[in-house]
């Protein structure tokens, strides 16, 4: 479902009416005519397909949808307020300046900023937005003029986003995410929950708890879409912190990778050494680290918990690590390399469950209890999930309870 981000001016009008419970008083507060405020509210209600206010003799009060929307709009504008306050150079005037600047920033300007920062190119950004390049240029330059700071630096190869641009882009993405969540909540309230749950998943979760969770959740919420993003952990963490996704599911990092995220452990499986059926090591009564070092391996990249566990196997035995290594976390590639050679890999047995069950691959007997690694959720610290997202998290926890 394509979600259109509302006009920021309309959102500020909405919050003023919520607070003051009167179009007349809101008009005096934000210096807009009463017809303009009435029109802004009407446009919002049309876009959201719901009534946001009940009109009573003593004032205007938010409906149930209006209360949900007020919460999300407040959180959204708070992200932008805090970001603009951080960027302004006069500490003593931050609160006043940020309020004035925020009142002038438009949705169009922020969408242009996000699009350009994502691709570091005005031409590609304009194509992605479906507008002319001159429009994107104008929106970005107007935003620079408003803030009084540079957002882009020219280089020999194009442009680079400044630190200020990155700060504001992150806030804009988080703000837009709050508004999308609010729209999803309003639709769910009207018995047409067609929201999208966006999450990033690491390999182990993709082959075990995630498929089962999606299937069970889909039985209860058939119209809700689930968008799964795959990629290296640093990329997924970046997308999480910028509001592109709301959950990262996989091996947890300790200490926590950033101070604006929190982790929840769901499951703690050990790793196993996997090889092809008929592998020479399967005939040995006892396998040593020295025996393992004689063979080629497929292992994940440096810095991952599994790669650390791989190193520990040989360090604890005071044995030199294998030198013939293929680095990959692709389950398909790992499986094919194992089946076609005497290579070994260190992986959770759950990731190769089907191949082990039908006898294509075998688990090598070797003590690895010390390699248990926590699998779980990583979310933004101040994330406020919708009811639908909370249900999905509950299903994940139930599935993990069964695995434990």
Rg (CA), the chain: 26
Task: Tell me: do 203 and 104 sit in the same domain.
Answer: no
Cis status, amide bond into 255, omega within 30 of 0:
yes
Decide if 1 is inside a domain: no
pTM: 0.85
Query: Kind of pairing, strands 272-276 and 361-364?
Result: antiparallel
Q: What percent of the chain has pLDDT over 90?
A: 75
Give the residue-averaged pLDDT of 267-276. 93
Confidence band, pLDDT 50/70/90 cuts, at residue 273: very high
Shared-domain flag, residues 201 and 309: no
- Please tell me what DSSP assigns to residue 14: H
Residue 218: give the domain boundaries.
Answer: 193-267+375-403
* 32 and 82, same domain (yes or no): yes
Q: Which of 201, 189, 301 is closest to 249 using CA atoms?
A: 201
Identify the CA nearest to 168 among candidates 258, 103, 102, 122. 102
Q: Say if 175 falls within a structural domain.
A: no
SS3 306: helix
Same domain, 97 and 166: yes
- What number is the average pLDDT over the span 4-16? 94
Task: State the average pLDDT over residues 39-51.
Answer: 95
Residues 98 and 236 in one domain: no
- 84 plus 202 within the same structural domain: no
Q: Are residues 36 and 131 both part of a single domain? A: yes
| Nearest CA among 66, 64, 62, 72 for reference residue 21 | 62
**Domain assignment of residue 178, yes or no:** no
Based on the fold, state whether residues 326 and 379 are members of the same structural domain: no
CA distance linking residue 213 with residue 371, whole number of Å = 25
**DSSP annotation of 285:** S
**Burial group, residue 348, by CB count within 10 angstroms (0-12, 13-18, 19+):** buried
Do both 220 and 296 map to the same domain?
Answer: no
Based on the domain organization, do 118 and 80 belong to the same domain?
yes
Task: Quote the CA–CA distance of 5 and 173 in Å, as a whole number.
Answer: 11
Query: Would the pLDDT of 44 be above 50?
Result: yes
CB 58 within 8 A of CB 20: no
Grade residue 31 by pLDDT with cuts at 50, 70 and 90.
confident
Cβ–Cβ under 8 Å, residues 39 and 63: no
Tokens linked to 312: 């520990």
* pLDDT, tens only, 288-325: 999 999 999 999 999 888 999 999 999 999 999 998 99
Give the contacts of 322 (CB within 8 A, at least 6 positions apart): 292, 293, 294, 295, 296, 297, 314
Cα–Cα distance, 396 to 38 (Å, whole number):
44
Q: List strand residue ranges (DSSP E) for 170-292, in order.
A: 196-201, 225-230, 247-251, 261-267, 272-276
pLDDT tens-place string over residues 232-241:
899 999 999 9
What are 157-204's pLDDT values in tens digits? 778 999 999 999 999 999 999 999 999 999 999 878 889 999 999 888
18/30 Cα distance (integer angstroms) = 13
Domain count, the chain: 3
Judge if 384 and 322 occupy the same domain: no
- Average pLDDT over the chain reads 92
CATH number reported for the structural domain that contains residue 211 in this entry: 3.40.190.10
pLDDT, residue 89, reads 65
117 within some domain = yes
**76-107 pLDDT, tens digit each:** 999 999 898 888 765 554 555 566 788 889 99
At 265, the pLDDT band (50, 70, 90 cuts) reads very high
> Quick one: pLDDT at residue 207?
82
CATH number of the CATH domain containing 32:
1.10.10.10
């Amino acid at each position: 479902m394509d979600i259109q981000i509302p006009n920021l001016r309309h959102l500020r009008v909405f919050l003023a009416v919520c607070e003051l419970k009167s179009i007349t008083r809101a008009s005096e507060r934000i210096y807009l005519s009463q017809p303009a405020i009435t029109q802004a509210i009407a446009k919002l209600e049309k876009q959201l397909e719901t009534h946001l206010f009940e009109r009573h003799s003593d004032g205007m009060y938010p409906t149930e949808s209006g209360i949900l929307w007020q919460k999300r709009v407040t959180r959204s504008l708070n992200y932008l307020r805090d970001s603009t306050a951080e960027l302004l150079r006069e500490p003593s005037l931050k609160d006043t300046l940020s309020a004035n600047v925020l009142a002038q920033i438009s949705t169009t300007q922020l969408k242009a900023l996000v699009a350009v920062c994502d691709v570091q190119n005005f031409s590609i950004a304009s194509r992605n937005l479906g507008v002319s390049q001159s429009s994107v240029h104008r929106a970005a330059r107007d935003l620079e003029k408003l803030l009084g700071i540079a957002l882009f630096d020219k280089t020999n190869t194009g442009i680079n986003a400044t630190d200020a641009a990155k700060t504001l882009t992150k806030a804009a993405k988080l703000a837009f995410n709050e508004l999308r969540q609010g729209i999803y909540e309003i639709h769910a309230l009207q018995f047409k929950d067609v929201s999208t749950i966006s999450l990033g998943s690491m390999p182990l979760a993709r082959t075990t708890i995630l498929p089962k969770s999606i299937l069970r959740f889909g039985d209860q919420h058939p119209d809700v879409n689930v968008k799964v993003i795959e990629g290296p952990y640093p990329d997924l963490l970046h997308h999480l912190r910028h509001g592109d996704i709301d959950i990262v599911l996989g091996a947890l990092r300790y200490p926590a990778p950033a101070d604006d995220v929190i982790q929840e452990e769901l499951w703690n499986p050990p790793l196993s050494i996997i090889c092809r059926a008929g592998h020479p090591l399967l005939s040995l009564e006892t396998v040593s680290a020295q025996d393992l070092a004689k063979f080629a391996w497929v292992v994940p990249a440096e810095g991952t918990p599994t790669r650390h566990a791989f190193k520990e196997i040989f360090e604890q035995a005071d044995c030199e690590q294998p030198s013939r290594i293929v680095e990959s976390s692709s389950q398909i590639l790992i499986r094919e390399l194992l089946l076609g050679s005497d290579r070994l890999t260190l992986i959770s047995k759950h990731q190769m469950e089907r191949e082990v069950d039908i006898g294509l691959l075998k688990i090598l007997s070797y003590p690895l209890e010390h390699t248990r690694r926590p699998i779980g959720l990583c979310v933004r610290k101040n994330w406020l999930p919708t009811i639908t997202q909370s249900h999905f998290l509950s299903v994940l926890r139930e599935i993990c309870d069964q695995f434990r």
